[in-house]
Amino acid sequence: MTRPILVAHTDPSEVSSVLSERFPDQAFEYVTHGSMVADALAAHEPEVIFAVAGPSFRRDVHEVMLNHPSVKWLQVGGSGYDHLPFEWDRERVAVTHCAGVLSQYLAETVTGAMLALNGHFLRYRALQSIAEWRPIPFRPIAGQTLLVVGFGAIGQRLAHNARALGMNVIATRNTPAEHPLADEVHGPDRETLLSLLPKADVVSLHLRLNHDTKRSFDAECFAAMKQGAMFINTARGRVVDSDALLAALNDGKLMGAYLDVFEKEPLPPEHPLWQAPNTLITPHTADNVLKFPAYYAEFFADNLARFKAGSELKNRIK
């Protein structure tokens, strides 16, 4: 491959060492701002683009990349691809994503949040702020049932952690089949989900956002959940009806929630979820492990080796 590969990232130092070490004879052209993309495409006519992107790139920058006639393959960072809301010529341009690359780290965060909620850590922090000594009994996590809604790489890693804690695991996925990390695996249809929710002490969402899943976890789903269950969403904010979630927290239906994603981000300061009882909020950082772009770069490098060899690319969007 003689043409340079275009790399779009706000901080090239986070990925350049990985790429130059893996492919010392390959030229890479780095752009650090969305305003640089059109000129770089025209100047270098790249066949391959690695777009980690970042805050200095508009969400529509991928459309510019995909519409450029020289581009044959676009590798995007992150596990989701709902930021690609447009159609492109999928025969001409392959698009791949990084699903699974950070699954272990996101599962670590969810596991920690689940233990913190179950152990009343948020309540103890509030008591600490007023110097009040008040023991609160907690239920053993072992023996509780975790429902994983979306049993992909992240859901499976979470199931691994939950099993190590002695939890029972049930799951839903698009292609249900027996799995060593789950006691039961079911299909994704709504009727099945509603039948599983009353069995779960913890419900953790790991769904992709699409037409079928948008606001699919609604008031009916929260009503079906077990009284005092925990709710976790690290998938996408728009798969949940946030008004229904807030009602379930405020009326005591849920014992607590861990929320990393929201319908509108950043979550506005006046949003009532900030004040919801026993709710842990993080700013879409559940997998924000140190040097995460380097993990994406390693995945891209593996895929680049496949591309050069004419082999099938991993995580291609069909």
Give 229 or 78, the one with higher predicted confidence.
Answer: 229
Share of the chain above pLDDT 70, in %: 99
Least confident range from 47-61, 156-170, 202-216: namely 47-61
Q: What is the SS3 assignment for 196?
A: helix
Stretch 283-293: mean pLDDT, rounded? 97
pLDDT of residue 84: 78
**Would you tell me which CATH number, out of the four given (3.40.50.720, 3.30.70.260, 3.40.190.80, 3.40.50.20), belongs to the domain 103-281?**
3.40.50.720
Tens digits of residue pLDDT in 244-268: 999 999 999 999 999 999 999 999 9
Stretch 136-141: mean pLDDT, rounded? 98
pLDDT band of 80, cuts 50, 70, 90 = confident
CB-based contacts of 267, cutoff 8 Å, min separation 6: 273, 274, 281, 283
Go through the chain and tell me how many residues it has: 318
Q: Is the pLDDT of residue 76 over 80?
A: yes
pLDDT band of 85, cuts 50, 70, 90 = low
Stretch 78-85: mean pLDDT, rounded? 76
Task: Please say whether the dihedral angle defined by the alpha carbons of residues 213, 238, 210 and 99, taken in this order, is positive or negative.
Answer: negative
Q: Is the pLDDT of residue 210 over 60?
A: yes
Task: Please list the residue range(s) of the chain that carry CATH number 3.40.50.720.
Answer: 5-101+290-309, 103-281
Q: Which position has the token pair 């981000």? A: 265
pLDDT of residue 1: 54
Q: Is the pLDDT of residue 54 over 90?
A: no
pLDDT band of 48, cuts 50, 70, 90 = very high
Q: Is the pLDDT of residue 149 over 60?
A: yes
Stretch 280-293: mean pLDDT, rounded? 97
Stretch 145-170: mean pLDDT, rounded? 99
DSSP-assigned letters across all residues of 28-66:
EEEE-SGGGHHHHHHHH--SEEEEEE-TTS-TTHHHHHH
Q: Is the pLDDT of residue 83 over 90?
A: no
pTM of the prediction? Answer: 0.95
Residue 50, token pair as written in the block:
């690695």
DSSP percent split of the chain into helix, strand, coil, nearest 5: 35, 20, 45
pLDDT band of 173, cuts 50, 70, 90 = very high
CB-based contacts of 144, cutoff 8 Å, min separation 6: 118, 167, 168, 201, 202
Residue 170 belongs to what H/E stretch? strand 168-172
Q: Is the pLDDT of residue 207 over 90?
A: yes
Phi and psi, residue 292, nearest 5°: -60, -30
Beta bridge partners of 95: 74
205, HSE (Cβ side, Cα atoms, 13 Å): 30
pLDDT of residue 133: 99
pLDDT of residue 242: 98
Distance separating alpha carbons of residues 215 and 283, to the nearest angstrom: 20
Q: Is the pLDDT of residue 290 over 60?
A: yes
What amino acid positions are annotated as catalytic residues? Answer: 236, 265, 284
- 109 neighbors 234 (Cβ within 8 angstroms): yes
Give 182 or 60, the one with higher predicted confidence.
Answer: 182
Stretch 121-133: mean pLDDT, rounded? 98
Chain-wide mean pLDDT for the chain? 97
Q: Which position has the token pair 């030229």? A: 27
pLDDT of residue 7: 98
pLDDT of residue 82: 76
Stretch 15-25: mean pLDDT, rounded? 98
- Domain over 5-101+290-309 is classified CATH 3.90.950.10: no
pLDDT of residue 60: 87
Nearest partner of 240 among 205, 272, 188, judged by Cα: 205
Determine how many CB atoms are found less than 10 A away from the CB of residue 53: 21
pLDDT of residue 161: 99
